[in-house]
Chain A
Amino acid sequence: MFNYIIKRIGIAIPTLLILIVVTFYLMHAAPGGPFTSERPLPAQVLANIEAKYGLDQPVWRQMINYSWGVVTEFDFGPSYKYHDRTVNEIIAQGFPITLKYGFWSFIVAIGVGIPLGAIAAIRKNTWIDYFAVGVSIGAQVLPNFVMAPLLIIVFTLWLGWLPGGGWHGGDWEYLVMPVIALSTSYMASIARITRSSMLEVLNANYIRTARAKGLPTKTIFFRHVFKPSLLPVISYLGPAFVGLITGSVVIDMIFSTGGMGYFFVNAAFNRDYAVMMGITILVGSLTILFSLIADLLYAWVDPKIRY
């Protein structure tokens, strides 16, 4: 187990390096730079600014300098757009916001998705099943960028119950709609996965054995059915996490929540290289970390898997 974790971390390093190289080159391949604007700067001024930020050097050298700063000092560099702030400060501001509504979305997706799928499986081919399947299909075909404006129309404009955007330190009324918009499609996928895997487990021979043992239905469900049914859900958590992060871009733009997605989109528009790199590395590392956690969780549930 310990060796496995070390190995996975070992693999994470080249993965991150590839991520850095590809992102760096793609970023620079896009036309324009952080200081191109509608009203061009005098050539000499531009050259001075670029020299200050090291942009006059070849891309590979910039990349190495940048990576060196990240590795040795954990310094993601200065923002080219917000001159008074470093990337570290921007992340420190945006990340907790993303983390908060992302965390709640995750909780809602799992906390609603798994019971919904389980009930549908246990009551297969009854109205509860049809209802749950209907809801999860409906939720899955509604992408978050459609869901979010719909929520605003209903809850802000028609009913006037919730504010249409903003963050205010993450008060619950500012949290509700972002969480619903972000979590719904993952909730639906988790419900669908839980339902089908649970149906499979319910038909397994060892469940028949459990019934033959004379155990009460409740005991059979919680001791024998529940854990194996969750295995496919656990493998889905990795991709779901990535989806939540990318989905946060949409959430930040529509609800003005001010999370990392907001800075990421602006950075892309402004060619704010350092901010883009900083957020990419952070999200990349989190993704690697999360899939490692999901794999360890998998091994914990399934004794046949030992690393």
Chain B
Amino acid sequence: MSLLEVNNLQVQFETTDGIVSAVNNVSFSLEEGKILAIVGESGSGKSQTVFAMMGLLDQNGHATGSVKFEDQEILNLSISELNLIRSEKIAIIFQDPMTSLNPYMKVSAQMAEVLIHHKGLSKTDAIKQSISMLDAVQIPDARNLIRMYPHEFSGGMRQRVMIAMSLLCHPKLLIADEPTTALDVTVQAQIMHLLSDIQKEFGTSIILITHDLGVVAGNSDETLVMYGGQVMEIATTELIYASPTHPYTQGLMSAVPRLDDNAVKLKTIQGNPPDAMLDPVGCPFSPRCKFSKDICSTHTPELLETGENKHFRACHVAFKELL
């Protein structure tokens, strides 16, 4: 049984200019104790997919489809029902640790309130447990630092605080929404190590959202590639790297700069991401795709297994033709 099963998830936003479809028919599943990476460029619907799961969409957002967590439907639950899941079973850490912690509250208060609310602990006990969680994410001198305000921490430390805060109730699933994007490279590596340590130590499943393929490579079991709000390809991370079968994934891989390559100009994928205002017709990647055929702009390709174990791709063009 999968821990999480997402089926035909659709997210739309009502704006003054019309309806924006951010996520279209996204389906995937996640096994317990695994790390799933969701990659894609900005605006591909990665974050909105997980926000929809946790009921964190903006007020003008609307999600349809199905999200099952431990066999329970959790999409569009009431706030009070969601609050039994948020933090207790599914926790999330956000992209920008600078703004995601409340600047007007001490770290101790922000962490303790999670335990006070969910576990009914006293304030003293809650702070004690918070301190040991800060120790666990390797914040030095947690006993004293917990009394500080977020702005007194560095960016990497703040992200550690966020991670510690999300782990307080030992959730089964941790969603990390671009946890390292706002951090510098050395700190990025530390945070990624921390996340994989957590996965090993607590057995937490992780959904790792990123647009950094380097982060994906060493830190995930499976990879889901998104484009224009749709799933392009899902496979084990090894397979995705060894033999990407989708033109978009191939484009992404070849766009990663390599140290052993002396090319003067970096490789890119020509063109721009699609306008989410327009109704999705056909494959969203087709206008930028080298292999595009007539059918690509009229029919949306289905996500089909390629024959190899659990390797799914959504493309009209046969894999052989891409080689």
A interface, CB within 8 angstroms of B? 204-206, 208-217, 219, 223-224, 227-228, 301-304
CB distance from B181 to the nearest CB of A (A): 13
CB distance from B158 to the nearest CB of A (A): 11
Number of interface residues of B (CB under 8 A): 33
CB distance from B292 to the nearest CB of A (A): 38
| Best-surrounded residue of A215, A216, A217 (most CB of chain B within 10 A) | A215
Residue in A208, A209, A211, A302 whose beta carbon sits within 8 Å of that of B104 in the complex: A302
B interface, CB within 8 angstroms of A? 54-56, 79-80, 82-88, 91-92, 94, 96, 99-106, 109, 113-114, 117-118, 149, 151, 162, 165
Residues of chain B contacted by A217 (CB below 8 angstroms): 79
A-B contact pairs, 16 of them (CB 8 A): A204-B99, A205-B94, A206-B102, A208-B100, A211-B56, A212-B54, A214-B82, A214-B88, A214-B117, A215-B114, A219-B113, A223-B113, A303-B149, A304-B103, A304-B149, A304-B151
Q: Is the CB of A212 within 8 A of B113?
A: no
Residue of B nearest to A215 (CB): B117
Q: Is the CB of A212 within 8 A of B103?
A: no
| Best-surrounded residue of A214, A224, A227 (most CB of chain B within 10 A) | A214
Residue of B nearest to A124 (CB): B59
Residues of chain A contacted by B87 (CB below 8 angstroms): 212-214
CB distance from B48 to the nearest CB of A (A): 13
Residues of chain A contacted by B91 (CB below 8 angstroms): 212
Q: Is the CB of A209 within 8 A of B102?
A: yes
Residues of chain B contacted by A210 (CB below 8 angstroms): 102
In the bound complex, CA of A102 to CA of B192 (Å) = 59
Residues of chain A contacted by B114 (CB below 8 angstroms): 213-215
Residues of chain A contacted by B96 (CB below 8 angstroms): 205
CB distance from B74 to the nearest CB of A (A): 12
CB distance from A34 to the nearest CB of B (A): 54
Residue in A204, A208, A209, A216 whose beta carbon sits within 8 Å of that of B117 in the complex: A216
Q: Is the CB of A211 within 8 A of B86?
A: yes
Residues of chain A contacted by B149 (CB below 8 angstroms): 303-304
Residue of A nearest to B83 (CB): A214
Residues of chain A contacted by B103 (CB below 8 angstroms): 206, 228, 302-304
In the A-B complex, list the 8 residue pairs whose CB atoms are closest, starting with the nearest: A214-B86, A205-B99, A214-B83, A214-B87, A206-B102, A303-B149, A205-B100, A213-B87
Residues of chain B contacted by A206 (CB below 8 angstroms): 99-103
Q: Is the CB of A213 within 8 A of B104?
A: no
Q: Is the CB of B105 within 8 A of A223?
A: yes
